[in-house]
Amino acid sequence: MSNSNTADKVSHNVYFEGKVQSLGIETEQGKATVGVMKKGTYVFNTGAPEVMEVITGKMSTKVSGGEWLHHKKGDAFEVGANTSFEVVCETEVAYICYYH
């Protein structure tokens, strides 16, 4: 058994009464979360710029002040720092989100 500190651990985040959950990890690109979202509508706030990639499923997003964009498996989109964005999951969605 090796010694590890909290920076080496995987964090588990739960939002919207368990309908959105993610695991926080460190990747070659930096801090990231890998997560799932049940069908539904959600609003998220950002602190840092994010790049979200859809692993599976279909979703639509609207960044504050923007227009609705549609995303499917393999699509990626960016969200600026200190903003909010709406998400409508048309199916269950799996994603990876990189924080820059």
Q: What is the DSSP string of the chain?
A: -----GGGSPEEEEEGGGTEEEEEEEETTEEEEEEEE-SEEEEEE-SS-EEEEEEESEEEEEETTS--EEEETT-EEEE-TT-EEEEEESS-EEEEEEE-
pLDDT value for 29: 86
Global pTM?
A: 0.86
Give the list of residues 6+ apart from residue 74 with CB closer than 8 angstroms, or none.
53, 54
* Tens-place pLDDT, residues 5-32: 556 789 999 999 999 999 999 988 899 9
Please give the mean pLDDT across all residues of the chain.
92
pLDDT confidence band for 77 (50 / 70 / 90): very high
Q: In CATH, what number does 10-99 get?
A: 2.60.120.10
* Tens-place pLDDT, residues 42-63: 999 999 999 999 999 999 999 9
